[in-house]
Amino acid sequence: KAGVTQTPRYLIKTRGQQVTLSCSPISGHRSVSWYQQTPGQGLQFLFEYFSETQRNKGNFPGRFSGRQFSNSRSEMNVSTLELGDSALYLCASSPGDRGVDEQYFGPGTRLTVT
Amino acid sequence: AQSVTQPDIHITVSEGASLELRCNYSYGATPYLFWYVQSPGQGLQLLLKYFSGDTLVQGIKGFEAEFKRSQSSFNLRKPSVHWSDAAEYFCAVGAIDSWGKLQFGAGTQVVVTP
């Protein structure tokens, strides 16, 4: 099976702009989770989608949003970018039919905000 | 609330020597525990997981981990490290109602010397 793919791999944006990141899960997986990874805060959970519904969310401002499509592909959007949003954004997929499961991660999207 | 502590930020080990990475968790109910590895610029790869049963868990790349409930620990071990094991290692914990959220430790950077 193909692994989790994320596009684009790298992005450079300016403060105030918005950005959309995409994640395609492993075939058959219906859950997609998003994480932000920074040197200072480590890996932090953003939100999780299952069958097009957000089931869980972390403690991030409303500028961070996401959605999931019927084919389980997911996008996350960050509006009004701030310098502190510079990070590696990782998505992970899992079957999703249990409350906890092993997650398979994509390579990430490196976002730089200038 | 769940929490994960990796006491060692950085470990240096000689090639061929044994490696042990420490992980302590805090969680009231049954924890679901994971170890992931991240190479520079890459996503996270699952090494092993513990859900229940035998407390000694075997994973990929020759790694194993032991769950000790009395010590709230899930330490990762490898008998003989290879230069390719140089990477950052993350311990993570989930719960039966995590719904896509894993709580990660801060990570341990492993350097392998000749």
Residue B2, pLDDT > 80, answer: no
- Residue B9, pLDDT above cutoff 90: yes
Residues B69-95 pLDDT 10s: 999 999 999 999 999 999 999 999 998
Instruction: Tell me what the pLDDT averaged over chain A comes to.
Output: 96
Cα(B14)–Cα(A9) distance, rounded to whole angstroms? 33
Banded model confidence at residue B53, pLDDT cuts 50, 70, 90: confident
Contact B100 A4 (CB under 8 A): no
Q: Do A106 and B43 touch (CB under 8 A)?
A: yes
The yes-or-no verdict on residue B18 having pLDDT over 80 is yes
Provide the pLDDT for residue A2.
83
Q: How many CB atoms lie within 10 A of CB A60?
A: 16
| pLDDT tens figures, B22-35 | 999 998 678 999 99
pLDDT score of A70? 96
Query: Across residues A45-68, what is the average pLDDT?
Result: 97
Closest Cα to residue A20, out of A57, A54, A65? A65
| 3-state secondary structure (DSSP) of residue A49 | strand
- A13 CB burial (10 A radius; 0-12, 13-18, 19+): middle
Q: Closest partner residue to B94 among A43, A90, A100, by Cβ?
A: A100
In A, what residues contact B, Cβ < 8 A? Answer: 4, 6, 31-33, 42-43, 45, 47-50, 55-56, 58, 90, 92, 94, 96, 99-100, 102-108, 110
pLDDT at B109 over 80: yes
Average confidence (pLDDT) over A61-72 = 97
The rounded distance, in Å, linking the Cα atoms of A94 and A96 is 5
Kindly report the average pLDDT of chain B as a whole number. Answer: 94
Phi, psi of B69, rounded to the nearest 5 degrees: -65, -40
pLDDT at B50 over 90: yes
